Amino acid sequence: MIIWLIGPCYGINAQSLDALEKKHGFQDIILDTDISDNPQLVYKKQVALKKSEYPIHVYIRNKGSYPNIGEVPIKDMEVKVYLKKIIEIKIITPKETDIMKALKKLYGEPSFSVRSNAWEWQTEGVLLSLISVGKKKLEIKYASRKLNQYIKDKKEEGIEDLSTDF
């Protein structure tokens, strides 16, 4: 009798992180693209960035836009924009276990970040995190790794310029 030893098969149903990189955002909101490509989003406010001459602009969804993720209602949504490019999409939903199950099915097993207290999926260009907010809410956040690194580099340039003045 021949016995085949097969190692554990993880994420058989998962499309993998390649799907996250390819999708590069949430529904039709794509990270790193121009905000003007999304007429369903409306300007809310601007937030100053330390050590940067350019602020972050916050957009919200038009009434009636993006009501659900499947059967789960979206309570709140914010899209952050830097220099007219989408850098982050934040979605608040009721705490629903089906969200984690769906994300695992799509992108495989996440890693847990103790620093941010979140479950994370990372690709070269996208960081997707799932965070429990209180007892009744979940925060799903898509962030552009490329543009966030650009912002971080600009902040460090400002500090470097400042330090050379001394």
For the chain, what is the domain count? Answer: 1
pLDDT at 9 over 80: no
Among 143, 149, 150, 153, residue whose Cα is nearest residue 31 = 143
- The residue to which tokens 């260009």 are assigned: 125
Query: Tens of pLDDT along 120-148?
Result: 999 999 999 999 999 999 999 999 988 76
Report whether 58 contacts 44 (CB < 8 A).
Answer: yes
Classify residue 28: in a domain, yes or no: yes
Classify residue 10: in a domain, yes or no: no
Classify residue 29: in a domain, yes or no: yes
Domain of residue 111, residue span:
17-164
Classify residue 11: in a domain, yes or no: no
Classify residue 141: in a domain, yes or no: yes
pLDDT at 96 over 60: yes
Classify residue 88: in a domain, yes or no: yes
User: Long-range contacts of range 150-157, CB-CB < 8 Å, 24 or more positions apart?
Assistant: 151/49, 151/52, 151/82, 151/87, 154/51, 154/52, 155/49, 155/50, 155/51, 155/52
Non-local (6+) Cβ contacts of 136 within 8 A are 94, 95
Among 146, 147, 136, 145, residue whose Cα is nearest residue 84 = 147
Predicted TM-score (pTM) of the model is: 0.81
Measured between alpha carbons, how far is residue 112 from residues 13, 38, 76, 94, 137 in Å?
A: 20, 32, 24, 21, 18
Query: Tens of pLDDT along 13-72?
Result: 446 899 999 999 999 999 999 999 999 999 999 998 776 778 899 999 999 999 999 999
- pLDDT confidence of residue 41: 97
Classify residue 91: in a domain, yes or no: yes
